[in-house]
Amino acid sequence: MAEKTQDYTNLEPARLLEREKEIRGEWRKLRFDKTLSKLQDTSKLKKCRKELARVLTQLTIAEKRVKADEKK
């Protein structure tokens, strides 16, 4: 069954930054485990990277929203 991804559209930028740090730490650990041949499921790397991209996309959208509000 397909995993449901977390929806980041309603999170505040501060929470998104916190989640970004968590995901980067997890991704770093997975890369080290892969290098040391401890990682059995390498698809976790891809999932982690995609989740990070989702968070970064929402952060960019939030930044653009703030800049647009400043121009008004």
d(CA 33, CA 47): 15
Please name which of 53, 4, 3 lies closest in space to residue 24, comparing C-alpha atoms. 53
What pLDDT is recorded for position 12? 92
Show me where the domains of the chain are located: 13-71
d(CA 62, CA 6): 17
Instruction: Summarize pLDDT for 44-72 with one digit per residue, the tens.
Output: 999 999 999 999 999 999 999 999 988 87
- Return the structure tokens found at 31: 């890369």
pTM of the model: 0.84
* Residues 22, 68, 10: CA angle, nearest 5 degrees: 40
